[in-house]
Amino acid sequence: MNDYETISQMEPEDTITRPMLVSDIAEGRLLLTDGETEISALIFDREFKNKGIKKDSVADVTITLKATDEQKKYFVENISPCTDPEQSAKNYYIKFSDISIGTTFTRPVIIIDMTEKKDKSGNPYTELTICDGFSNVTARKFKTSADSLEKINVRKDGIARAKLTAGEFNGAKNFTCEDITALENDSPLTVNAFVRVPPVPLNVMYDEIYSVLKSLDKKLFGKYDSIAELTLKILEANKESYMTSSAAVSNHHNLKGGLLYHSYRMMKAADALCGVYTSLDRELMICGAVLHDIGKLWEYNTSILGGAEFTENGVLFGHLYMGASYIKESAKDGNYNKEKLRMLMHMIVSHHGNQEWGAVVFPATAEARMLHMIDDMDAKMYSFEDNYNLMEEGTVTKEKIKNLDTNIYKPSIMRKDILIP
Ligand SMILES: [Fe+2]
Ligand SMILES: [Fe+2]
């Protein structure tokens, strides 16, 4: 989106062509946004609807600005469906994280969950967990039962158009839902295109993991197959689910592609730390980071929205055991060095650090201990990032954050009023 000229940069008589979201269609006019500025533009082309231009679609638009001292007028010179596959409608609506407290706005949201509750006087209200494609927030629709929302086709796992007012609760943004309606039947918005994904594209992360492993794939002592080769084989056999699986039911990385994002960041951290702690076996560290949560592919079912639920085997065996046994099974046909394979499996079954957190045994090698620390580090960093996303600068949460054991503060580096204790 950054490479295009923006509407706000336009001078009188300027013409620009760029992808824009058609946020509404009125008689002879289109409401258009480049993600920063929303304008109403006159359109003379009566055939635009036949080209597939609909409300909520991204289009390649050419607009001209005519301005007098009193007013600015925008004209649509040309419009056609967007050809850039990187453009997605979700990038154009105002994000929950960018909304200031006290503002009311309307935008499409995915309904992750809907729960009916009762207020102090016993009136029903519905608590909605909604997603803008980037973060999940809670919105309350007062004096409304879940049933009455279902009746107007507003339901879990669907998209709806919501009018929301941003408020604050417990140091984080929370929202009141003023109004909510189902999308028009012919809306181009799909749940799949709207889903929350990690900040790095899934294929970029996968390709980088792949090439790092490929660079490590060398015979050990000139005769054994490398465990990097084994890791590659496991990834390729499970590529689709490895790329889209969530990493948790709640807690850290609970989004579509969360497992890949977590494994990717851990691989990069492992690689960097091998440059400091040079006695660590780099191949074990990289393969351990990439495979440590592989058992989650069978521990959870990830929905199209990235929500995860435990499977039966997940409940019965957990991802440490399932991961280690899958690796053992996958290694059956290869000529791997037994000790190296044993060390990799030890890393998998001990990566939760201690039995209280689900580890089968304590980490007993330097690589296993380091893997546990990187795992813990990545989960904690994610918690900060996820919470910061919805916090105002210079504020503290009113409650402790679950896996950080403390209330957290979002620094404001611009503040001048802070006295260092
Ligand atoms: Fe794990
Ligand atoms: Fe993990």
**Domain membership of residue 128 as a residue range:** 93-190
- Indicate which CATH number applies to the domain containing 221: 1.10.3210
Q: Are 360 and 224 members of one domain?
A: yes
What is the predicted pLDDT for the residue at 251? Answer: 63
Q: In angstroms, rounded to a whole number, what is the distance separating the alpha carbons of residues 407 and 387?
A: 11
Ligand 2 centroid distance, CA of 317 (Å): 16
What is the predicted pLDDT for the residue at 375? Answer: 98
Across the range 28-46, mean pLDDT stands at: 92
**DSSP secondary structure letter of residue 225:** B
Inside any domain, residue 415:
no
246, 184 in Cβ contact below 8 A?
Answer: no
User: Mean of the per-residue pLDDT values for the chain?
Assistant: 91
Ligand 1 centroid distance, CA of 336 (Å): 24
Q: In angstroms, rounded to a whole number, what is the distance separating the alpha carbons of residues 319 and 174?
A: 34
CA 293 to chain centre: 18
Ligand 1 centroid distance, CA of 326 (Å): 15
187 versus 325: the higher-pLDDT residue is 325
pLDDT band at 393 (very low <50, low <70, confident <90, very high): confident
Ligand 1 centroid distance, CA of 375 (Å): 8
Q: Are 227 and 337 members of one domain?
A: yes
Ligand 1 centroid distance, CA of 294 (Å): 8
Across the range 388-411, mean pLDDT stands at: 89
Which three-class secondary structure state does DSSP give residue 24?
strand
Ligand 2 centroid distance, CA of 375 (Å): 5
**For the stretch 173-188, what's the b/e string if a residue is b when 16 or more beta carbons lie within 10 angstroms of its beta carbon?**
bbbebeebeebeeebb
Q: How many CA atoms lie within 13 A of 172 on its CB side?
A: 20
Q: Are 327 and 376 members of one domain?
A: yes
Q: Are 232 and 322 members of one domain?
A: yes
Domain boundary among 52, 73, 88: 88
Inside any domain, residue 317:
yes
What is the predicted pLDDT for the residue at 345? Answer: 98
Domain count, the chain: 3
Q: Are 57 and 153 members of one domain?
A: no
Instruction: Name the residue type at position 93.
Output: Y
What is the predicted pLDDT for the residue at 164? Answer: 96
Q: Which ligand is nearest to the CA of 299?
A: 1
Q: Write the pLDDT tens digit of every residue in 308-319.
A: 889 999 999 999
Q: Which ligand is nearest to the CA of 260?
A: 2
Q: Are 227 and 329 members of one domain?
A: yes
**DSSP secondary structure letter of residue 93:** S
Question: How far does the chain reach from its first CA to its final CA, in angstroms?
Answer: 43
Ligand 1 centroid distance, CA of 320 (Å): 7
